[in-house]
Amino acid sequence: MSVLKGKKILLGVTGGIAAYKTANLVRLFIKAGADVQVVMTPASKDFVTPLTLSTLSKRPVFSTFYTEEENELWNNHVELALWADLMIIAPATANTLSKMANGNCDNLLMAVYLSAKCPVYFAPAMDLDMYKHPTSIDNFHKLQLFGNSMIPAEKGELASGLSGEGRMAEPEHILAFIENDLSSKLPLNGKKILITAGPTYEPIDPVRFIGNHSSGKMGYDLALEAANRGAEVILISGPSHLNIQHSNVQLIKVTTAEEMFEACHRYYNEVDVAIAAAAVADYRPKSVANQKIKKTEEAFSIELEKTKDILASLGEQKKNQFLIGFALETENEIEHAKLKIQKKNLDLIVLNSLNDEGAGFGKSTNKITFIDKSFQINPMPLKSKEEVAKDILDKIIF
């Protein structure tokens, strides 16, 4: 999943031959999951039609301060600017760059630019001598001092027939530049997080197993939120109907507690944070039947043995990792959670009580209490699991 998913992008198109590339640029933004609003200068319509960009963006294209209808409608430049999460001006011609640098507001696009509070990117496009001219270079520097981000022009054949620097960056490169720039500014960029999720199934025979009602949703929401904040995530999941699509998430599927134990220890030394959100079986059958057990006796017993304690083993091997555990309790919740912090060498525990309505397995909500290693207690209200995931990640300390 792209970092642009859900972002509102304002694309400013100016009057240069490279404007024809903006059709593909809009398409790429839409494919990445962004909403795109196009604003064109009047001159840009000589190179690409508003109908093309409107069709691709699925929004009306604006180029003037009012719409020429029976009742003229004002195109509010301030409203457009405040709507956007990002603004990209591509192509940015020498003329437009000069206006941007000097505050010359003579069209709708410039009025929107001067009203924008969001990050602004610009992709210059002009002939090589224009690109290297001292006034152009001065405008590049000035705009970057304003906080705008320049997407450098590329080398190649130009409309003049010459070959050199000045071509607008290709749409794929513009997309990659913006994604990389946004990713580098995310709070968890460069961090690696291991998250466990879901139940484990401990086989009795080839048909039956011991398990629990965990859906894995809490762990999956944690993984998605961590990835959206820039972290590289290793999600180790027991059986779950859920899936996750994000370029920053590596999903490792396991079934048993033993498989989850091995997977956790395979990656633990390379992560900065580990969050044990899985509901791991405490016991497993001591012996597993090779064939389906037939129903013959009125009573049937299974001898169980303890599974390996994944969280305790991670706590024993902890070096610099920030280790978070979960506790699902039904009585003496705070006392049991504090003991778990000490016994398992945790930095933070997320306490769930089945006595709280809306908490526990198989629900879209959760009600948690944070307890840190200093035994500071912070109860939280009932929230969606997506919001709880945000709260948990806010507690991580590096």
Q: What is the CATH number of the domain that holds 326?
A: 3.40.50.10300
Q: Which residue in the list 139, 212, 248, 290 is annotated as catalytic?
A: 212
CA distances from 99 to 94, 124, 255 (A): 9, 13, 61
Same domain, 126 and 223: no
Return the structure tokens found at 99.
């206006």
Quick one: average pLDDT of 100-122?
95
Tokens encoding 89: 């001006």
Task: Tell me whether residue 294 is in a domain.
Answer: no
293 found inside a domain:
no
At residue 71, does pLDDT exceed 60?
no
Question: Are 179 and 199 contained in the same domain?
Answer: no
Q: Which of 384, 296, 366, 358 is nearest to 327 (CA)?
A: 366
What b/e string do you get for 259-271 counting C-beta neighbours within 10 Å, with b at 16 or more?
Answer: bbbebbeeebeeb
Specify whether 221 is located in the same domain as 354.
yes
Is there a domain that residue 3 lies in? no
Same structural domain for residues 23 and 168? Answer: yes
Q: Which two tokens stand for residue 230?
A: 């820039």
The first and second tokens of residue 215, run together, are 């859906």
Alpha carbons 307 and 279: distance in angstroms, whole number: 12
d(CA 14, CA 91): 6
Is 348 a member of any domain? yes
Please state whether the predicted TM-score (pTM) of the whole model is above 0.85.
no
**Contact of 352 with 359, CB cutoff 8 Å:** yes
- Specify whether 71 is located in the same domain as 212: no
Query: In the chain, how many domains are there?
Result: 2
Is residue 258 in a domain?
yes
Exposure string of 348-373, with b = 16+ CB inside 10 Å and e = fewer, is bbbbbbeebeebbbebebbbbbbbbe
**Domain presence at residue 1:** no
Give the pLDDT of residue 272. Answer: 97
Structural domain boundaries enclosing 322: 192-285+299-394
One domain for residues 159 and 305: no
Is residue 2 included in any domain, yes or no? no
Q: Range with the lowest mean pLDDT among 293-297, 353-357, 387-391?
A: 353-357
Select from 184, 210, 227 the last residue of a domain.
184
- Residue 163, domain CATH: 3.40.50.1950
Of 145, 162, 184, which residue is a domain's last? Answer: 184
Query: Mind listing the pLDDT tens digit for each residue in 330-379?
Result: 678 889 899 999 999 999 999 986 666 665 566 778 889 999 999 999 99
Residues 6+ apart with CB under 8 A from 119: 86, 87, 147, 149
Last residue of a domain, one of 121, 155, 184: 184
pLDDT tens-digit map of 7-41: 999 999 999 999 999 999 999 999 999 999 999 99
Output the pLDDT for position 359.
59
Percent of the chain with pLDDT over 70: 96
Same domain, 23 and 166: yes
* Predicted pLDDT of residue 354: 67
What are 163-199's pLDDT values in tens digits? Answer: 888 899 999 999 999 999 999 999 999 999 999 999 9
3-state secondary structure the chain: CCCCCCCEEEEEECCCHHHHHHHHHHHHHHHCCCEEEEEECHHHHHCCCHHHHHHHHCCCCECCCEECCCCCEECCHHHHHHHCCEEEEEEECHHHHHHHHHCCCCCHHHHHHHHCCCCEEEEECCCHHHHHCHHHHHHHHHHHHCCCEECCCEEEECCCCCEEEEECCCHHHHHHHHHHHHHHCCCCCCCEEEEEECECCEECCCCCEECCCCCCHHHHHHHHHHHHCCCEEEEEECCCCCCCCCCCEEEEECCCHHHHHHHHHHHHHHCCEEEECCECCCEEECCCCCCCCCCCCCCCCCCEEECCCHHHHHHHHCCCCEEEEEEEECCCHHHHHHHHHHHHCCCEEEEEECCCCCCCCCCCEECEEEEECCCCEEECCCEEHHHHHHHHHHCCCC
What value does the mean pLDDT take over residues 225-239?
96
Integer Cα distance of 84 and 7 in angstroms: 8
Residue 117 sits in the same domain as residue 204 = no
Helices 257-267 and 310-317, packing angle to 10 deg = 20
Co-location of 325 and 240 in the same domain: yes
Residues 150 and 131 in one domain: yes
- Crossing angle of helices 22-31 and 50-57, in 10° steps, is 10
Identify whether residues 163 and 306 lie together within a single domain: no
Q: Residue 212 catalytic?
A: yes
The answer to whether residues 20 and 157 belong to one domain is yes
Q: Tell whether 227 is covered by a domain.
A: yes
